[in-house]
Amino acid sequence: MNGFDDLDIVFSTDKGRIKPEKKPQAAPKGDGIVRVGRETKGRKGKGMTVVAGVPLHPEGLKDLAKTLKQKCGTGGTVKGRTIEIQGDFRDLLVAELQSMGYTVKKSGG
């Protein structure tokens, strides 16, 4: 007996690093209308189609962005709660989102 048999374990490597559990993010509350607009601000005059107000969680938003980019044949990104598609594809995106069952409005000029 070495005197250490009755002590509690202070350090153990059997579990590795313990990461805090992530809570799933809920879809944001909104008015239920998806808005599709065009922006050039801060992009050196290049136009982008911006889709905002989609009631999806972040992973669903990324999947929708991928689908819309493929439909337009161009690039884009998800920033915050909006989807940005390169180029002016408002009419195409409005039709596509309506076919998916969303209530869609054009915003801006």
The amino acid sitting at 69 is K
CA distance 33 to 53: 6
pLDDT at 11: 62
Helices marked H in 17-89: 58-72
- What are the residues facing 39 on neighbouring strands? 48
Print pLDDT tens along the chain (109 aa). 565 555 565 666 666 666 667 666 665 566 778 999 998 887 787 889 999 999 888 899 999 999 999 999 999 999 988 999 999 999 999 999 999 998 999 987 6
pLDDT at 8: 63
CATH number of 33-106: 3.30.780.10
Structure tokens at 37: 């607009």
pTM: 0.70
pLDDT at 91: 92
Quote the distance between the C-alpha of residue 58 and its chain's center.
Answer: 4
What is residue 76's three-state secondary structure? strand
Domain boundaries of the chain, sorted by first residue: 33-106
CA distance 27 to 42: 28
In the chain, DSSP assigns E strands to: 33-39, 48-52, 76-79, 82-86, 103-106
33-39 vs 103-106, strand pairing mode: parallel
